[in-house]
């Protein structure tokens, strides 16, 4: 009986061994399948865990890299923005200078380009200082212009700088005409942004929006050069004149570069043509020389 | 002799500072800030002269400041001189009547001084200049008072420090002088 039991137990125990031997090579034994499935599950889990860890770590590692990249990119961006601003500034300066150059070469006047370096300490006074002075041939009383319009005239000239009285200063006066009706008056500064046209007759034709140009009679400004536009006209009941408020063509606070007119050569902006060479030669100095030589000649003859 | 050296260093220090500040006010400020009113830099030092300096030194410094102003404006020298001296006397007299310690006093005086400086200019221009009355630019005027007041604490600190440095031997502290 005991032996029987032993045989049965051994037979049961040998079954798996027998079944193992009966397996074809390469097949997974059935008894190991659950273990291998469990093992596979564990391995998959480990792999998933490991890949998650690796993914997260790499994300963090990448983040550090990204942070560095962002920093370097933002630095580059700032640098490029600064360069862009610089280029824009250069472009604007280039445009301004080419406008000045075009103006300089287009007209037959003797002009000296100058840069505005400062303004007056008192805002009530419309004064600017230029970086050119007597060493560049600039003298007191010379006109200062911008391609868009009249600016003012030289009040004082030092060796390397000069002071300009803007046409909006209450001491500044310019002989001018209303371009449309040819009515003549004197432009006088009132405040940093306004001027007035004085000594116009009551009957003179002036309308809002009219352009006031230099008359050229003062021999400082070229004839017909834009000075201001009419902003308001008031006719007082009693009186022989009319009050004409002007807005200067040029906004003095925005000026950066100007021209000082050394010699207008009687250039007129109304004709748009310079005077002929023959006439150019007939400058007052030459005429005076000719007259004096003539007088000497007649004196020696007599 | 030591005192004389200190006086000279004080006068030259303020002269250099005022020259630099006025150059900044008339050129650099407009380049960067456009039409925004610049603070009246010269007033900061004139108030210091009137408040904290011995009367002779303060007066000399005020006169020198007026001459420095002339280099940066076309306004006649007599107007500049009268303006600066009047402001110096006004602050000096005001100090005798009303005074409290601390920078708030200096601050208040800065605002008053900008106002007085402008008003005296208009009056002097009306009475002394040929072209008469200068048109008052109210917006600029108020803007300058505000901006000058805004910068006052900074200059109070700087000039106080300078006063202490330049008068090392004779000048114990501002409070003691007062």
A124 contact residues in B (CB cutoff 8 A) = 121, 125, 134-135, 137
- Residue A26's pLDDT is 58
Contacts of residue B26, Cβ cutoff 8 Å, sequence gap at least 6: A118, A119, A120, A121, A129, B38, B72
Among the residue ranges A153-162, A205-214, A248-257, B81-90, the one predicted with the least confidence is A248-257
> Average pLDDT over chain A, rounded to whole?
79
* Cα distances (Å, whole numbers) of residue A142 to A22, A215, A221, A263, B157: 121, 15, 8, 8, 46
CB contact under 8 A, B37 and A123: yes
CB contact under 8 A, B74 and A117: no
- Residue A63's pLDDT is 78
- Residue A30's pLDDT is 66
Would you call A122 an interface residue with chain B, using a CB distance cutoff of 8 Å? Answer: yes
Highest mean pLDDT among A11-15, A90-94, B149-153: B149-153
CA–CA separation, B61 and B130 (whole Å): 29
- Residue A19's pLDDT is 64
CB contact under 8 A, A125 and B74: yes
| Angle, vertex CA B36, rays to CA B136 and CA B65, nearest 5 | 70
Q: Which of the four pLDDT bands, split at 50, 70 and 90, describes residue A162?
A: very high
CA–CA separation, B9 and B3 (whole Å): 10
Question: pLDDT, tens digit, for every residue of A176-215?
Answer: 999 888 888 999 988 888 899 988 888 888 889 999 999 8
Q: Which of the four pLDDT bands, split at 50, 70 and 90, describes residue B61?
A: very high
- Residue B89's pLDDT is 94
B131 contact residues in A (CB cutoff 8 A) = 170-171
- Residue A228's pLDDT is 92
Would you call B72 an interface residue with chain A, using a CB distance cutoff of 8 Å? Answer: yes
Q: Which of the four pLDDT bands, split at 50, 70 and 90, describes residue B43?
A: very high
B132 contact residues in A (CB cutoff 8 A) = 170
CA–CA separation, A184 and A205 (whole Å): 10
B72 contact residues in A (CB cutoff 8 A) = 118, 120-121
| Assigned token pair, B133 | 């009355």
- Residue A25's pLDDT is 57
B14 CA: distance to closest CA in chain A (Å): 18
CB contact under 8 A, A118 and B135: no
Q: Which of the four pLDDT bands, split at 50, 70 and 90, describes residue B47?
A: very high
Among the residue ranges A42-56, A110-124, A279-293, the one predicted with the least confidence is A279-293
Q: Above 80 in pLDDT, residue B142? A: yes
B134 contact residues in A (CB cutoff 8 A) = 124-125, 170
CB atoms within 10 A of CB B107: 16
* Cα distances (Å, whole numbers) of residue B45 to A30, A284, A287, B10, B163: 102, 54, 58, 11, 11
What chain B residue is nearest to A126 in terms of C-alpha separation? B74
- The three-class DSSP label of residue A147 is coil
Q: Above 80 in pLDDT, residue B176? A: no
B24 CA: distance to closest CA in chain A (Å): 9
- Residue A124's pLDDT is 81
Mean pLDDT of B139-168: 88
- Residue A275's pLDDT is 43
CA trace torsion B100, B104, B105, B110 (10° rounding)? 180
Would you call A99 an interface residue with chain B, using a CB distance cutoff of 8 Å? Answer: no
Contacts of residue B131, Cβ cutoff 8 Å, sequence gap at least 6: A170, A171
- The three-class DSSP label of residue A190 is strand
CB contact under 8 A, B74 and A163: yes
> Average pLDDT over chain B, rounded to whole?
86
Q: Above 70 in pLDDT, residue A271? A: no
A123 CA: distance to closest CA in chain B (Å): 8
Q: Which residue has the tokens 């220090």?
A: B13
CB contact residues (below 8 A), chain A span 177-196, against chain B: 190-192
CA–CA separation, B73 and B79 (whole Å): 11
Nearest CB to B137; choose among A124, A170, A253? A124
Q: Above 90 in pLDDT, residue B46? A: yes
Q: From the CA atom positions of chain B, what is the Rg in Å?
A: 16
């Amino acid at each position: 009986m005991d032996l029987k039991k032993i045989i049965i137990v051994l037979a049961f125990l040998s079954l798996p061994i027998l079944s193992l031997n009966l397996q074809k090579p390469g097949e997974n034994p059935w008894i190991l399948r659950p273990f291998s499935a469990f093992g596979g599950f564990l391995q998959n889990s480990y792999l998933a865990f490991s890949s998650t860890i690796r993914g997260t770590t790499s994300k963090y590692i990448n983040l550090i890299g990204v942070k560095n990249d962002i920093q370097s990119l933002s630095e580059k961006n700032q640098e490029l923005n600064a360069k862009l601003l610089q280029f824009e500034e250069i472009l604007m300066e280039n445009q301004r200078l080419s406008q000045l150059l075009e103006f300089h070469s287009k007209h037959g006047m003797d002009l000296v380009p100058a840069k505005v370096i400062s303004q007056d300490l008192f805002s009530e006074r419309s004064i600017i200082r230029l970086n050119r002075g007597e060493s560049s041939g600039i003298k007191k009383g010379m006109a200062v212009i911008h391609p868009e319009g009249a600016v003012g005239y030289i009040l004082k000239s030092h060796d390397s700088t000069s002071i300009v009285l803007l046409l909006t200063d209450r001491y500044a006066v310019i002989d001018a005409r209303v371009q449309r009706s040819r009515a003549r008056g004197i432009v006088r500064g009132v405040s940093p942004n306004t001027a007035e046209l004085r000594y116009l007759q009551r009957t003179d034709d002036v309308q809002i929006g009219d352009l006031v140009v230099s008359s050229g009679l003062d021999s400082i400004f070229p004839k017909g050069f834009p000075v201001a536009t009419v902003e308001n006209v008031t006719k007082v009941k009693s009186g022989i004149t009319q009050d004409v408020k002007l807005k200067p063509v040029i906004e003095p606070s925005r000026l950066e570069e100007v021209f000082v007119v050394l010699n207008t050569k009687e250039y007129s902006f109304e004709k748009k043509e310079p005077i002929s060479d023959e006439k150019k030669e007939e400058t007052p100095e030459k005429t005076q020389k000719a007259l004096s030589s003539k007088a000497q000649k007649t004196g020696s003859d007599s | 002799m030591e005192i004389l050296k200190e006086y000279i260093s004080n006068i030259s220090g303020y002269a250099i500072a005022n020259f630099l500040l006025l150059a900044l006010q008339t050129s650099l400020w407009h380049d960067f800030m456009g039409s925004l009113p610049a603070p009246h830099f010269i007033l900061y030092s004139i108030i210091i002269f009137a408040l904290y300096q011995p009367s002779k030194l303060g007066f000399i410094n005020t006169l020198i400041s007026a001459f420095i102003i002339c280099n940066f404006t076309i306004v006649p020298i007599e107007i500049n001189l009268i303006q600066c001296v009047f402001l110096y006397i006004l602050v000096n007299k005001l100090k005798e009547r009303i005074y409290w310690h601390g920078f708030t006093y200096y601050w208040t005086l800065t605002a008053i001084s900008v106002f007085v400086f402008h008003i005296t200019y208009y009056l002097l221009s009306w009475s002394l200049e040929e072209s008469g009355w200068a048109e008052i630019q109210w917006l600029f005027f108020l803007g300058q008072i505000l901006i000058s007041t805004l910068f006052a604490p900074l200059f109070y600190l700087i000039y106080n420090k300078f006063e202490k440095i330049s008068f090392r031997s004779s000048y114990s502290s501002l409070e003691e002088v007062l």
